[in-house]
Structure 1
Amino acid sequence: MKKIKWVLAAVAVLGMMLCTGCRSGENGEIYVYSYGDYFDQEAIADFEDETGIRVIQDTYDTAEEMYPVIEKGTADYDVIITSDYMIEKMIHHKMLLEVDKKNLPALKNIDSRYMKKSESFDPGNRYSVPYMVGVSGIIYNKKMVGDVKIDSWGDLWNPKFKDSIVMPDSVRDDFMIALRLLGYDQNTSNEKEIKAAAELLKKQKPLVYKYANDSARDLLADGSAAIGVVWNGEYIYTKDLNPDVEFVIPKEGTEFFVDSWAIPKTSKNKANAEKFINYMCKAKVAKKNFDYLYYTTPNEAAMKLIEKKYRKEEAIFPTDETLDMCDTLKTLDTKTTDLYSKYWKEVKAK
């Protein structure tokens, strides 16, 4: 199913390229900078047809890659989408414009729970609008794990799964797991706690089959690994390939992300930027993007349009109780960042 969507997306992109000359763009243009393959291209084409605004897209792989482009003004983008901790950093450095909520009537569709969560990095929701949400958890093959009940980050230290565990290849994500297992704040700046988490990760390392990010889901889908860490949006894709996999959010709680739309201070067309953000908040558009990604949509109005089998799936739409156990990663000061880097190098070198 996902492959079919990729083919359709490719066809849509090709159609847009061939049709560039026929789109008049009578109402101007908008430059969008986003993570790659992060929304249905049909939605972009529909926005152009509806508004007459031509969309020019660029993509990046990581928020860290995006940041210097905006900071240095290498290119003038009207709209970006990026993660919570980076939104927080950009607000701190005065790199974003406030959104005018009067120009965002569809903002009412965003669930108040996620607006409240967003205030942890954007007080008052002044600079950002939630687009997609996700939680980190454990995906496992129920046949391969046997009679072991999977419900804790500690299960990733079970010797029974030696050479069958997939961990993130990411300093903050791995430390989040170890810190939560130890009962510490996932954003701690306490060196003793960071060191303790590193020691725990060192003990686990001989059990780990591979440290991986995007490929983790494929290793679980094809049976190369029994248990691993993924974002909840990868669950449906993986289960479509292997019906034996299940997803669980550990009882110790987990990392939670909010990816949001924002307008850089260098935007040349704020009015069109707000039209674009408002369009993405419309229920039918949010539903289309959910069908493309399977990540949690914070769009409450879109939920009514989503198939019931997905709405009832707690892996995709966590309960309030689960959300209460989740926190976003915070931007750390340079000294603390260096500490994590130092101990991560020790983990990987051992």
Structure 2
Amino acid sequence: MDRRTFLLGTGAALGQILAGCSSQERQRLQVQVLKGSIPAQLLEQFRRQLKQSANLDFVPVEQFKAVLDLLQLWHKQPPTKDGNWQLPAVPLINPKPPQVADLVTLGDFWLQNAIAQNLIQPLAIENLPQWSKLPSRWQNLVRRNEQGFIDPQGKIWAAPYRWGSTVIAYNRQKMQSLGWTPTNWEDLWRKELQGRISLLNQPREVIGLTLKKLGYSYNTKDLQQVPQLDKQLSALHKQTKVYSSDRYMEPLILGDTWVAVGWSTDVIPVIQRYQEIAAVVPQAGTAIWADTWVSPAKSKANNSLVSQWIDFCWQQPSQKQIAVLSKAASPLPLNINAGDIQEGLRNLLLVAPEVFERSEFLLPLSPETQQQYDELWKSAIL
């Protein structure tokens, strides 16, 4: 899943802000962080509260695909042996790969593949002060077996630090002519929207919202047991003008479509820029995602610094800054003043508890179930 290229413009300054100290004797923490997901001032605050000076090296990356490529590169990289001569890297021919980071940002949807391919290692964070404050739903999300599937007895593979959801965005002016605005998934099937919808080019998302409309789970294991699913999906296809995972908001802005289904971190910057665009979290519940910290398998991380950073991100002041400045929700219970959030964004960032309870993570599917989703997508959409 290629979820968003969300930029806050802070990435270029990260290295300068966090360079800190240059002495090689000091501890070092290297992090590949999704650009825009951590406020730059938060990193400086972390450096100041450390009891021992450390070199902090935070490098912004724009997409999870780039993170996964790095994890795979590091996994294939042979270990260096002291004393052995090696052919030096030649720029543009065999450039030296980046040093293995201690932590990287990875979306929860990517965890199963990263674990199954042995690209990441478990985190020793169960005894952190903030872990016990993390609601069980989030703890369960990151407890996985060696194949990457949810397992209450599994190891802890990731630390979630923010989350968002799949929302319905709409053009206020266009919808005003209809006399209503969307509030739930079923509205996408209304005849007034025929040929006026932008959808994500993602089978799990589109089939999932159709399942939700019919009262089923996003993670339904046997699609053949869902009556009318194929007909409902075909009907939604007739309503749709555009399928895209990265440019679905453009037709909405231009007025070519009136409604778009997309990820909150893509939608929010558009709402901030264009007053005619609004969005809603469907009342029936929606798909939710989490940005998490994971440790590359070949990382020789300083466990103390890694643990301190993760715990720092979970502290109340840090979570408030992440939520308000990166425009994403917190996995920990927070008391955020609604006045600190732009009015048009409050329903997206302060999701009603009952709606959140009805929402779901897109969990890994068995190969047999995944095949059902693929076949249904081809028959109903392609």
Q: The TM-score by the shorter chain falls in which range?
A: 0.7 to 0.9
Question: Deviation at 1:254?
Answer: 1.6
Does the aligned pair in 2 maintain the 1:253–1:325 contact within 8 Å? yes
The 3 A distance-change label for structure 1 pair 195 and 73 is farther
Q: Distance in 2 between matches of 1:26 and 1:302?
A: 41
Question: Deviation at 1:181?
Answer: 1.8
Aligned length in residues:
338
Does the aligned pair in 1 maintain the 2:166–2:286 contact within 8 Å? yes
Which residue matches 2:68? 66
Q: Distance in 2 between matches of 1:64 and 1:187?
A: 27
For 1:223, the aligned partner's letter is G
Aligned counterparts, 1:202-241, within 5 A:
202-241=234-273
The 3 A distance-change label for structure 1 pair 21 and 39 is closer
Q: Distance in 2 between matches of 1:206 and 1:181?
A: 16
Residue aligned with 1:268, SS: coil
- Check if 1:183 corresponds to 2:183: no
Does the aligned pair in 2 maintain the 1:287–1:306 contact within 8 Å? no
Residue aligned with 1:29, SS: strand
Question: Deviation at 1:328?
Answer: 1.1
Match of 1:192 among 210, 221, 224: 224
Which residue matches 1:53? 55
Return 5+ residue gaps in structure 1 as ranges.
none
Question: Deviation at 1:226?
Answer: 1.3
Q: Distance in 2 between matches of 1:69 and 1:60?
A: 15
Match of 1:77 among 101, 115, 118: 101
Q: Distance in 2 between matches of 1:343 and 1:62?
A: 27
Deviates more, 1:335-344 or 1:296-305: 296-305
Which residue matches 2:174? 144
The structure having more radius of gyration, on CA atoms, is 2
Residue-by-residue CA offset, 1:24-48 (whole Å, 9 max, x unaligned): 4653322324444422234334444
Residue aligned with 2:205, SS: helix
- Check if 1:343 corresponds to 2:376: yes
Q: Distance in 1 between matches of 2:212 and 2:355?
A: 15
Q: Distance in 2 between matches of 1:142 and 1:311?
A: 12
Question: Deviation at 1:223?
Answer: 3.4
For 1:81, the aligned partner's letter is T
Does the aligned pair in 1 maintain the 2:197–2:242 contact within 8 Å? yes
Question: Deviation at 1:256?
Answer: 1.9
Which residue matches 1:276? 309
Residue aligned with 1:105, SS: coil
Does the aligned pair in 2 maintain the 1:184–1:193 contact within 8 Å? no
For 1:100, the aligned partner's letter is I
Does the aligned pair in 2 maintain the 1:12–1:42 contact within 8 Å? no
The CA RMSD over aligned residues, in Å, is 3.6
- Check if 1:247 corresponds to 2:268: no
Which residue matches 1:295? 328
Q: Distance in 2 between matches of 1:78 and 1:336?
A: 35
Which residue matches 2:149? none
The 3 A distance-change label for structure 1 pair 304 and 91 is farther
Q: Distance in 1 between matches of 2:20 and 2:180?
A: 59
Does the aligned pair in 2 maintain the 1:135–1:255 contact within 8 Å? yes
Does the aligned pair in 1 maintain the 2:11–2:35 contact within 8 Å? no
Return 5+ residue gaps in structure 2 as ranges.
1-6, 78-99, 144-151
Residue aligned with 2:346, SS: coil
The 3 A distance-change label for structure 1 pair 229 and 291 is same
Q: Distance in 2 between matches of 1:209 and 1:163?
A: 5
Question: Deviation at 1:92?
Answer: 6.7
Does the aligned pair in 2 maintain the 1:43–1:288 contact within 8 Å? yes
| Greater per-residue helix proportion | 1
The 3 A distance-change label for structure 1 pair 299 and 306 is farther
- Check if 1:105 corresponds to 2:129: yes
Does the aligned pair in 2 maintain the 1:233–1:296 contact within 8 Å? no
Match of 1:321 among 340, 354, 360: 354
Q: Distance in 2 between matches of 1:315 and 1:60?
A: 22
Normalised to the residue count of structure 2, the TM-score between the two structures is 0.74
For 1:150, the aligned partner's letter is P
Does the aligned pair in 2 maintain the 1:194–1:340 contact within 8 Å? no
Does the aligned pair in 2 maintain the 1:86–1:331 contact within 8 Å? no
